Amino acid sequence: MIISGECFCGDVSYEITGKLRDARSCHCSRCRKAFSSQASAYALVESQDFKWLSGKELLTAYVGEHGFGFQFCKKCGSTLCGIFKDTVHGVTLGCINGDAQVEIGRHIYVGSKASWEVIPEGVIAYDENVPVA
CB contact at 8 A, 93 and 102: yes
CATH placement of domain 3-21+42-102: 2.170.150.70
pTM above 0.75, yes or no: yes
Residue 132 has pLDDT above 70, yes or no: no
pLDDT tens digits, one per residue of 70-108: 999 999 999 999 999 889 999 999 999 999 999 999 899
pLDDT tens-digit map of 117-126: 898 888 888 8
Above 80 in pLDDT, residue 133?
A: no
Residue 4 — very low, low, confident or very high, per pLDDT cuts 50/70/90? Answer: very high
* Own/partner long-range contacts of 90-95 (Cβ < 8 Å, ≥24 apart): 90/42, 90/43, 90/44, 90/45, 91/5, 91/14, 91/16, 91/20, 91/42, 91/43, 91/45, 91/50, 92/35, 92/40, 92/41, 92/42, 93/23, 93/41, 93/42, 93/43, 94/41, 95/5, 95/6, 95/7
Domain extent listing, the chain: 3-21+42-102
Q: Is 131's pLDDT higher than 80?
A: no
